[in-house]
Each structure stands twice: as structure tokens, then as C-alpha cells.
Amino acid sequence: MLSNQPTNALIDLLFEQSDDFIGVYDTENERFIRVNQVGVRMLGFLSEKTLLDDPIWSKSLLIAPQTDEQRVNLIHEVKQAGYYEQETERSSQDGTRFWGRLVIMPVKDEHNAYFLVRLTNQRRLHQAEQELIQSVQRYEAVFTHATIGIIVSDQLGRVVSVNKLARKLFDYPDDELLGQPIEVLVPTDVSQYHERLRQSFADNPQVRAMGHNRDLHARRKDGSVFPVEISLSYFRLDNELYAVAYIIDITFKKEAERELLAHRDRIERLNVELEQKVAERTHALMNTLEQLQQSKDELDKALTAERELGELKSRFVSMASHEFRTPLTTILTSATLIEKYADNEQQDKRQKHLQRIRSSVNHLNDILEEFLSVGRLEEGKIEARPVAVDLSKLIQDIMAEMQGMLKPGQIIQPFIDCPDRVWLDPSLLRKVIVNLLSNAIKYSDAGSIVTVRGECTDTLITLTIMDQGIGISPDDQEHLFERFFRAKNAANKPGTGLGLHIVARYIDLMGGTVSLQSELNIGTIVTLTLPYENDPAD
């Protein structure tokens, strides 16, 4: 502390070297008579003279607000006590506020008594204190309201802090866990093993991520055990190690995993059953094809006898007679020729005719499938069964299957911009796309391009099949989706007239719409619009 009789040299030294406000206050005239440059800048003045000339600041003892009476009382108090100190918030001349520590000491020379006034700017200290307080408050808020359980233990394994969710997880009332060994939260059959793990962690502490490929369990206050995932971290305070455990109850996750495994088992069983049904269906279709040859003559006679039933039945008879006769004649002719090619050297010719037989049988199978589909549709036996479908893969698979149908130079170009998996009926959608691509290939020339474009919004899929074929007249377009209808310019091409009718019915079953645009000798665009949902598993 300064002597109450400082030398002028000592005061000059204070004025020059101090980083604080230093001022000499004349108690008799009640005004500052000298202020150092640091103090001038601290209070926002341009010079010592402007400060000393200011009628308010020159009289103030840096404590505001201050009346004359308060100032007189303060001067008296300082003289009596010999020392005055106060933490105060001050404002500079421009209104900037800051915290400071004010110290006033009486001094005198041979003639007069003065106050030596010192004001230390504690803005940074006060700011640091406020930041520390805010940091502690933020930590407490995060710790208290965290959505996972948090437990802090000391180097001896004693619980020193528990957040709200951890108390709820382990069913302990407030503060009951504090001071207890962490092993009270571990299943009894592994508590001793846990003590060794805890000591190992203390010797070599490391951060461990959540899960960490461990099957962990915890124990509640009532002794019940539940599965958990735990992440570990640590910190040091006053040279002592503290472990922090972050805990999540994964009971529901484990139950979901068990349900998922059971669901996979059910799917595998269903796949086996489905394969058996497909085999049975294939066998039934083969039997039907064998009976088809025997039924052809009877079918022709029956259709002829029933012409009076109407134009629809007449068209059916005409179409069926034509479509069945051609492949069956091919089969009969090829079978006759195969009998003649008995030598091994004629194996290539036999294979050629066998392939013609296969192609004709496949054509018959397609015709039969169209008839059966119309019948099932009329009886209401077909309904949409949506499952998760990889749309891009479905279209790629269909394209691969149809490569054999392409004419020389023909190509199919896909442009699909949709999620990997959508929720649709893949069987109905496959039949629709196969039918439309078959038409596009059949009614287009060699070297032409067939485009398949798929675009998805949040709820709709738009599929467009565009060809460069013979096109369809405006008059025929009005009837294209009717049963057995065939466009005038397609009469020389094989077909039942049922394909587009079935397409429209399938799209309707899936809640969608189908539209068509066509121009003769330019091509045709068929647009399918279908509602869909994203795969729920994504």
C-alpha cells in the first residue's frame, strides 16, 4: 500500500507505468487535478485537459449516480477509513460499460490533502467469469436433460454424478446412487469381472464407442437385468481420473432383432412353398398344352355353331382359330421333318426344327395365358399384391428376357430415375411391361429404337414406352383397349387383340392409369401412371 505521504517521483512513476486509471483528486475543491493517459483513454476522452474541464467527470469520484451530498459523504468516509475499495460497473463517455475495481487512498503533501484514485478495468476478468458461469450452466443443462443415461465415477469406482435419465433407467431415487460402487449397476454374475475391467481402464483409459461389439447388460435397483449399449470416455480433475459412461437401454432394439430373424425364417418358408406352387403350375400348363391339340377341332366347330351369340364371340372364334392354327401347323410340320432327319449328320436341322417347335409352343402358351388372364379378371380372381420391388432391376431383367425377340439392329434403351425399391405388384407390372415391349418390337422395323423411361415423384411413378413403329390411326385408338380389337394396319401381324385390354385392367387393379399417343408411320407412346410407396424397410 502507498504511503500517505508519497513523493512526487513515486506518483509520476505510477502515472507513467500503470495500466490502470490513476488520478489525483483534490478533496478541498472536490475535483480531479491530474489523470494519467491510460485513465483518459479508459473514460473515452481525447486528452487529460478535456476530462479535467468536464464539469461532471472532473468532480466525480468514479461512482455514479452521485449527488453532491453522496460525494461529500464518500470523501468523509475515505478520510475516516483511510482506504476505500469497491467493485463497480462504469460507463465511459461514449456509453461503453465495463467492470472495474475502484481503490481510493488519502495522500497529502506539505500543503494539501488529496485522494489517490485507482480504477482497474476488469472487463476481461468479468467476461471470463460470465463465460465460465454460462459454460457450467450449459454443461448442467446437457447433463441433466440428455436423452441417454450418463454416470460419472471416480478412480475408485464410486458414483459421483448421475443424470436424470440414468436414475430412471436404473430405477433409483434422487442421489441414492451417489457414493455407491459402480458394480451395483452390473449383473451380479459378472460384478467381480467388471472390477478387473474397471481397474484396467484406470491403468490405461481409452475412449470406447457405443456398442463396440459387446453384448452388455445392466442391473436395476430391483435386481432385474436389461440389455444396454455403453460408450466410455474420461477426464482428469486435480490429477484424479474420472470415468464417464453413456448408457442406452436397447431392450426394444433386441426385440426388433428377434422379430426380424423370425420374419426372415417365415420368408424362407414362403419361398419354398412358392417354388412348389410354380412347379405345380408349370406341370398343369404342360398338360393343358397336350390337350390343346385334341380340343382344336371341337373348338372350331363350337365357335362356328355359336356365331349367333354376337359379334364378340365371332371375333373370338376367328382370332383363336388363326392364332392356334399357325403354331400348331409349325409344330406338326417340324415334327414330321425331324423324323426324316435321323442321321447324326443332320443334327443341326433337327435342332432348327426343335427350336421352331419350342417357339410355337411358347406362342401358344402366351395366347393361353391371355385367355386365362381375361377369365380371371372377369371373375375377380386377380388382385394387386404390392411388395418391395427394385424397378430398375425388374426392367433390366425383362429386357434381358426379350433380347431374342429383337429384330436386327433393334435396341431397347432404358432411362429410369426412381428409388432403388418401391412398393408395387411386380407380377402385374412385369406382365404389363412385357406386353407393351412385345408390341413395340413387333410393330417396329429392324434398326429401330424402343425407349423405356421411368420417372418418380414423391407418390407417383410414370413409365413411358416409346417406339418408332407403324403407329395407330386416330379411329383405331378409340377402341384399342377393348377385348379382341386389333388395329387395321396390324391385321398381318399375329395377335389376340387381348393384350392392351389386359394391360388396362392390370393398371386399373394397381390404382393407375394408361394413356396412348400415336401417329401413323411415326410411332407410339404408351404412358403408365402408378401410385407407389417407398419400401417401408428403407
Question: Above 60 in pLDDT, residue 216?
Answer: yes
Ranking 44-48, 199-203, 412-416, 506-510 by mean pLDDT, the lowest is 199-203
Q: Is residue 136 part of a domain?
A: no
Question: Above 80 in pLDDT, residue 492?
Answer: no
CB < 8 Å & 24+ apart, contacts of 500-506: 500/435, 500/439, 501/374, 502/370, 502/373, 502/374, 502/377, 502/431, 502/435, 503/432, 503/435, 503/436, 505/377, 506/382, 506/428, 506/429, 506/431, 506/432
Ranking 139-148, 238-247, 291-300, 429-438 by mean pLDDT, the lowest is 139-148
Q: Provide φ and ψ at 377, rounded to 5°.
A: -65, -45
- Read off the pTM: 0.39
Report the distance separating Cα 56 and Cα 104, nearest Å: 19
End residue of a domain, out of 121, 136, 158: 121
Give pLDDT tens digits for 96-106.
888 888 899 99
Q: Is residue 472 part of a domain?
A: yes
**Which is more confidently placed, 173 or 141?**
173
Q: Is residue 334 part of a domain?
A: yes
57 lies in the same domain as 116: yes
Q: Give the three cell numbers for residue 490.
A: 396390324
Report the distance separating Cα 45 and Cα 160, nearest Å: 53
Report the distance separating Cα 361 and Cα 335, nearest Å: 13
Q: Give the three cell numbers for residue 301.
A: 366347330
**CB-based contact 4:108 (threshold 8 Å):** yes
Q: Residue 451 maps to which CATH number?
A: 3.30.565.10
Q: Which amino acid is at 536?
A: P
**CB-based contact 35:51 (threshold 8 Å):** yes
Domains: count for the chain: 4
The H or E element spanning position 336 is: helix 311-340
Report the distance separating Cα 375 and Cα 371, nearest Å: 6
Return all residues near 328 (Cβ < 8 A) that are at least 6 apart: 292, 293, 296, 360, 364
Q: Is residue 427 part of a domain?
A: yes
**Per-residue pLDDT at 524:** 95
- DSSP for 206-219, please give it: --B-SSTT--EEEE
End residue of a domain, out of 226, 249, 272: 249
Ranking 145-149, 359-363, 402-406 by mean pLDDT, the lowest is 359-363
> What would the mean pLDDT of 108-121 be, rounded to a whole number?
84
Share of the chain above pLDDT 70, in %: 76
Question: Above 50 in pLDDT, residue 309?
Answer: no
Give pLDDT tens digits for 249-266.
888 888 888 899 988 888
**Per-residue pLDDT at 61:** 67
153 lies in the same domain as 109: no
Give pLDDT tens digits for 58-103.
777 666 556 778 888 888 888 899 899 888 777 788 878 888 888 9
Mean pLDDT, the chain, rounded, equals: 80
Query: Strands 97-108 and 113-121: what pairing?
Result: antiparallel
Report the distance separating Cα 35 and Cα 61, nearest Å: 12
End residue of a domain, out of 378, 395, 410: 378
Report the distance separating Cα 320 and Cα 302, nearest Å: 12
**CB-based contact 218:186 (threshold 8 Å):** yes
416 lies in the same domain as 485: yes
**Which is more confidently placed, 527 or 18?**
527
Q: How confident is the model at residue 1 (pLDDT cuts 50, 70, 90)?
A: very low
402 lies in the same domain as 530: yes
Structural domain that includes position 502? 383-534
Q: Provide φ and ψ at 163, rounded to 5°.
A: -85, 175
> What would the mean pLDDT of 376-382 be, rounded to a whole number?
79
Q: Is residue 141 part of a domain?
A: no
Question: Above 90 in pLDDT, residue 353?
Answer: no
CB < 8 Å & 24+ apart, contacts of 390-395: 390/420, 390/421, 391/416, 391/418, 391/419, 391/421, 391/422, 391/424, 391/454, 391/461, 392/416, 392/418, 392/420, 392/454, 394/426, 394/429, 394/430, 394/433, 395/433, 395/452, 395/454
260 lies in the same domain as 346: yes
230 lies in the same domain as 314: no
225 lies in the same domain as 283: no
> What would the mean pLDDT of 446-454 be, rounded to a whole number?
94
**Per-residue pLDDT at 448:** 94
Report the distance separating Cα 54 and Cα 366, nearest Å: 107
Q: How confident is the model at residue 449 (pLDDT cuts 50, 70, 90)?
A: very high
**Which is more confidently placed, 355 or 457?**
457
CA distances from 265 to 224, 257, 261, 268, 275 (A): 31, 13, 6, 5, 16
**Per-residue pLDDT at 198:** 82
Q: Give the three cell numbers for residue 373.
A: 388372364
Q: Is residue 2 part of a domain?
A: no
Share of the chain above pLDDT 90, in %: 17
92 lies in the same domain as 153: no
**Per-residue pLDDT at 288:** 77
CA distances from 93 to 15, 41, 62, 90, 120 (A): 21, 10, 12, 10, 17
> What would the mean pLDDT of 142-158 be, rounded to a whole number?
79
Q: Is residue 127 part of a domain?
A: no
Structure letter (DSSP) for residue 42: H
338 lies in the same domain as 407: no
**Per-residue pLDDT at 135:** 59
Q: Residue 224 maps to which CATH number?
A: 3.30.450.20
**Per-residue pLDDT at 3:** 43
40 lies in the same domain as 86: yes
